[in-house]
Structure 1
């Protein structure tokens, strides 16, 4: 299991947001790259932030199933956890 890294989590979620935008602008295959980044974010959080990891997984599964999702709330959750850690 990886050591948790909240900065890494936020980076992967942000990259997923960019890729999901590109997936709607003529690059539908980028959806799956975004899903991969969310899996990375989940792996980067599960060791110390299980609730966040579960939230990331839930949003990732929504994307796979083409349901409504909200990745910005995940970045907000990771930012709050990062501030609490300091």
Structure 2
């Protein structure tokens, strides 16, 4: 049995300036042979999915698991899943 390093990145509810470095770090891990999963929401996945698909098609072990953000469970409107969609007073 192979001891393969697996890393999961959870970039939930981050400002856009934090998302790009996290995704870049995940991609670098994958380029160095680490099995990477990025767990994110649909709106955030749209921002970087093409790059992840390119990396995966190049043979790197990287994928995105998209989960619905449970905004209704915490009393937020359904379209709220990151700081870009929050209207601050």
Q: Which has the higher helix share?
A: 1
TM bin (shorter chain)? 0.3 to 0.5
Output the TM-score relative to the length of structure 1. Answer: 0.37
Larger radius of gyration: 2
TM-score normalized by structure 2?
0.36
Instruction: Kindly indicate whether structure 1 or structure 2 has the higher relative contact order, using CA contacts under 8 Å at least 6 residues apart.
Output: 1
